[in-house]
Chains A and B, each alone.
Chain A
């Protein structure tokens, strides 16, 4: 079974600065393997080990996303090899365009049985790329996936719903976005990190990929900081819980909130 893990080398917004004009300064935010991508790698590795398969890490991003550190980080979490598309034309692309490049890269890898992803990227958090990738590939896309097992000619996939758990039979290739809590990912040890340096990386030229062209364009026409809270901030610090509760109830009654 050939398993692709689509992953992202991305900065964490918690370390970013938002300028007064609402633009984001990422210079103090170091990139890393996106927060929940290790969960997808772990699910992929277990599935590959159970089926004698291969795990191919796939990442697309600007030229700066291809560094020795990034390669090692992506290859130390259970992948057998890495495929990169690193081109400045990919900087700041929206989800549909990123998914289009990923779909072309998945086709270039060839004979892929399943693409696994995290639930979202840490920097954008749109949760949309996996499902649009499924659309580009014409494959089913499923989110909130908690478990994937190989079965005769396909996969048995468990996913969380509002009501509980749904078990699905998937035949043919699919895109599966794992839930953040699907499994506990391994923490790469020294052996994994040293081993990563020996694993192969293929860099695909963007120009050589057959990327579906976008029809509509989205242009940023305004940025802002979130509006400051206009709430009253009446904070009760009374140590006695009963007195604090009584004060709060009085305040809420006076405000007509009860």
Chain B
């Protein structure tokens, strides 16, 4: 393979929702350097990525039935090592981390997770990110070899003129892991990255059936419903793709309503890009009130219906 080392690689972990990594790669790519997607996944994913603003698509071929993206991590690492890039961008999804880990091990590269700003010069890559759960911000400079960064996936990028999908020679999938069965949760998945308004719910919600309160407000606002980590992982009331936070989704809607969310930094870094933040919390001392544009001190069980009614009027 003849990739210039100036090219920036984007790892696609079986899901075409890679607007975040593509944007970071484009911003970091030097003039004249290409943004090259390395796609582990079905042809349909490669085709979708080819129309999402990248310059080239390297596709590892049809993985076959029941092959999870993790079985392709070694093959992706070989393709990346052959290209010898300075910068590789993956998603923070589980599959993205698996690909990033294989590449990092194969190339002896550091992985800088949850990058918020990435720049590349001729001999170094600089990455800014929130560290230690978001209590501090750090800038790291990677020299002497490639840098792997992971960023929130974002949604599917706005359609662009498609480029050709190039099938590359790569090792086949590892035989050691196969999908036996998929069980849908029955709950709707979501592309939060594309939502103009998002209502986030936290531990202030006492019971799963009370999600109806949140859904009514979301309907009145034309919003998608999101949550803090405990509701997606722990309570399991909402799907993982609705979890906003340092290791989950990062969103930048016009309006974010944080209801029953205390405002811990681990959650709030995920909405740093929101234009307007509204907080609703019964605790007047909750940290969220120091990080909102507008707040209502009150019980979400009375404020959410009142707000929905005011919007529906």
Contact = CB atoms under 8 A, between A and B. Distances in A.
Main secondary structure of the interface of A (DSSP, over half): mixed
Contacts of A221: 126, 139-141
Interface of A: 13-14, 16, 18, 22-24, 94-97, 99-100, 103, 120, 122-128, 130-136, 138-144, 156, 159-172, 174, 179-181, 212-227, 229, 231-239, 241-242, 244-246, 248-249, 251-252, 255, 257-258
Main secondary structure of the interface of B (DSSP, over half): mixed
A220 to B, nearest CB: 6
Interface of B: 68, 70-71, 73-74, 77, 92, 94, 97-98, 100-114, 126, 128, 130-147, 150, 174-186, 189, 221, 233-234, 236, 239-241, 246-247, 254-255, 265-266, 269, 275-279, 284, 289-299, 302-303, 305-307, 309-311
A134 to B, nearest CB: 6
Contacts of B240: 144, 160-162
B294 A252 contact: yes
Contacts of A140: 70-71, 73, 174, 176-177
Contacts of B221: 258
Nearest to A129: B101
Given A135-B73, A162-B189, A162-B240, A143 B97 contact: yes
Contacts of B108: 96, 212-216
Nearest to B95: A143
Contact of B105 (A16, A135, A172, A220): A135
Given A13-B132, A219-B143, 13 more contacts: A100-B105, A126-B111, A133-B101, A134-B73, A162-B239, A165-B183, A214-B109, A216-B143, A217-B142, A231-B292, A232-B292, A245-B309, A252-B278
A100 B265 CA distance: 30
A199 to B, nearest CB: 31
Given A135-B106, A251-B294, A252-B255, A164 B184 contact: yes
